[in-house]
Every structure is written in structure tokens, then in C-alpha cells.
Amino acid sequence: NAFGPRSGSRSSKTFKPKKNIPEGSHQYELLKHAEATLGSGNLRQAVMLPEGEDLNEWIAVNTVDFFNQINMLYGTITEFCTESSCPVMSAGPRYEYHWADGTNIKKPIKCSAPKYIDYLMTWVQDQLDDETLFPSKIGVPFPKNFMSVAKTILKRLFRVYAHIYHQHFDSVMRLQEEAHLNTSFKHFIFFVQEFNLIDRRELAPLHELIEKLGSKDR
């Protein structure tokens, strides 16, 4: 019964509403450019800043795209990521994450993975929707602190990949989503490496996988 509604399954829906880049906008053109170069199969080249483009805008468009991809990937496994299966937000036995956003929750709290990821994705979404941080209109400048905002968002989105790989990879394999996950993650890693957006320390939970993905392309 592959097509019937499975109770409690969120796999057919996305986890959070998708963030749409307005059609006809310059950012939409950039996204289309990104998709076209991805199709060429050379990811190292695909992540490079297109000639004459603004770095902030390129990072903004890709950050929105990664948010949507991770959203979709996590959406396929939400039924396996529960309070009981994942009482803490971890990426293997050595890495555990506690949630704080600096405004509503100042002191890091220990919470289950689904709760942590819900906090995280809601927090990212609020920033992507904030026109002062992620301006969608042409000519509206990016804020001076944009780079540090983007870095924090990407650092946190990485944790969702790390959790999926460490705790739910068997479910990903069963759903035959591994190629999709690997391609998305590889694109993400090449992107953050190209612009030096995530500290090496933060990438440690998936260090071996990152090495492996990179070695195939040298």
C-alpha cells in the first residue's frame, strides 16, 4: 500500500513550508543558474560565484535553497525521528547539541532531536523571512552583519545533516533516498568550503564522509 495515507507519516508533506524565491526576481535567476550548473555534474564549479554577481546575494540564494533541501530530506524521515528514538539531539555518541537562539532561549537547553530540529528550522525560517536580513527586493542592501548571520544559519543546518547521517541513515537507505541525501550534502559541503563558511571543528561529526566526498573530485 505505497500510495495510501500512512498514519502519522509526514513523508508526503514537507516539514516546514518551503521558502519561495519570487519568480522573475534576480535571485530567482541566480537560483536557476545554480540549478543549471548543478546539472553539469561538476559541483566544485557549480558552487563558485558566478561572474559579476554579488557574494552576499549568491550566499543568500544558496542558503534558502539548502534550507529547502534539508527541510525536504528531514521531512522524509520525521516519522523515525521521535522523542523516544532520539531523546537527545546528537550526531553519533561523541556529539550532542543543546539549543539556544540567544533571544527566546538564552541558556542552552537539552532537548530531543525532533524538538531541536523544529526549533532550528523555525529559527532559520524566521531569519529567511526577515527582509532586513534577507532582502528579496533589488537594490535593497544586505545588512553589514549578513555574513555572520549566514554562517550561523549554515552551521546549524549542518547539524541536521549530521543527525540524519548518524542516527537515521538506515531509514534513508530503506527509503532509497541515499543518493539524494549524498548529492545534497556534497553540494552543501562544497559550497561552505568554497567560501569558508563553517569552521572545521563544527564539521567534525561528518569528517570522514567529507574527506571521502572530496577525494572523489580531486
Angle at 65 between CA 119 and CA 116, to 5 degrees: 15
Cα maximum dimension of the chain:
52
Annotated binding residues: 81, 86, 163, 168
Which DSSP helix (H) or strand (E) runs through 90? strand 89-90
Annotated binding residues for Zn(2+): 81, 86, 163, 168
What span, in angstroms and rounded, lies between the C-alpha atoms of 49 and 131? 23
Residues 95-125 as b or e (16 or more Cβ within 10 Å = b): bebebeeeeeeeeeeebbbbbbbbbbbebbb
What span, in angstroms and rounded, lies between the C-alpha atoms of 38 and 141? 27
What span, in angstroms and rounded, lies between the C-alpha atoms of 202 and 181? 19
Residue 148 makes CB contacts below 8 A (sequence gap 6+) with none
